[in-house]
Amino acid sequence: MQAELKEDLIRLLKEEKELYQELFAVAEEKNEALLENDTAALSEILAADQEVIEKIEAKEKERKEIIEKIKSEFNLKLEHDKYSDFIEELPADWEEDLKDIRQKIIELTDDFYSLNDQNQKLLNQALEVNTFSIESILKSIKENKNTYTKKDKEQKEQPRLLNKKV
């Protein structure tokens, strides 16, 4: 039973690692779309991003269930549910087998969070540019004191924030 649980946990951690690699690849695509200001691609990428996140959440739930079975099998009572505390309480061969995959997952998530932070900064900059552009247009319209009068309807060069023509 213990060997089976160990193999299930290792298999699951490897699957999680692959999903984190996929999530990182999606984050790189998102970064590229943000840099190129490609909103159509960004929309598709965000859908793919959500799909991978849902898969990761499902694997995390599975991992927690397996860890609970392992804790029960080894009669482990942990003060905190930290992964490092968990593997320290297991036999030495378990710790050795789990340490490598854990380290790879940590490195991947660190890289992902760093790239995700960069993407967030790019999004904030894009929002600032858009806000500045809209405010500039509105200020220009206000300074020209354009109102909706009969005279304005006759003018063909009236600035508009939104063009109704398609």
Q: Looking at residue 114, which CATH number applies to its domain?
A: 1.20.58
Whether 82 maps to a domain, the answer reads: yes
Question: Residues 46-64: what's their mean pLDDT?
Answer: 95
Q: CA 63 to CA 59: how far, in whole Å?
A: 6
Whether 47 maps to a domain, the answer reads: yes
**Count of C-beta atoms within a 10 Å radius of residue 58:** 12
- Domains: count for the chain: 1
Q: Evaluate if residue 56 carries a pLDDT over 90.
A: yes
Whether 54 maps to a domain, the answer reads: yes
More confidently predicted of 142 and 97: 97
Instruction: Answer yes or no: are the C-beta atoms of 19 and 59 closer than 8 Å.
Output: yes
Domain with 5, as residue range(s), is 1-143
Q: How far from 96 is each of 10, 18, 88, 91, CA to CA, in Å?
A: 11, 20, 10, 9
Would you list the DSSP string of 55-123?
HHHHHHHHHHHHHHHHHHHTT---SS--HHHHHHTS-HHHHHHHHHHHHHHHHHHHHHHHHHHHHHHHH
Whether 39 maps to a domain, the answer reads: yes
Give the rounded percent of residues in the chain with a pLDDT score beyond 70: 87
**Residue-level pLDDT at 80:** 80
Whether 134 maps to a domain, the answer reads: yes
B/e letters for 105-121, b = 16+ CB within 10 Å, e = fewer, are beebbeebeebbeebee
Place of tokens 């691609």: 41
B/e letters for 90-103, b = 16+ CB within 10 Å, e = fewer, are beeebeebbeebbe
**Residue-level pLDDT at 121:** 94
Whether 150 maps to a domain, the answer reads: no
**Residue-level pLDDT at 145:** 60
pLDDT digits (tens, 9 = 90+) for 5-27: 999 999 999 999 999 999 999 99
pLDDT digits (tens, 9 = 90+) for 83-135: 888 888 888 889 888 988 989 999 999 999 999 999 999 989 988 988 888 88
Whether 153 maps to a domain, the answer reads: no
Q: CA 66 to CA 9: how far, in whole Å?
A: 7
Whether 113 maps to a domain, the answer reads: yes
Confidence of residue 152 (pLDDT cuts 50, 70, 90): low
Q: How far from 76 is each of 33, 43, 66, 87, 94, CA to CA, in Å?
A: 47, 45, 13, 11, 14
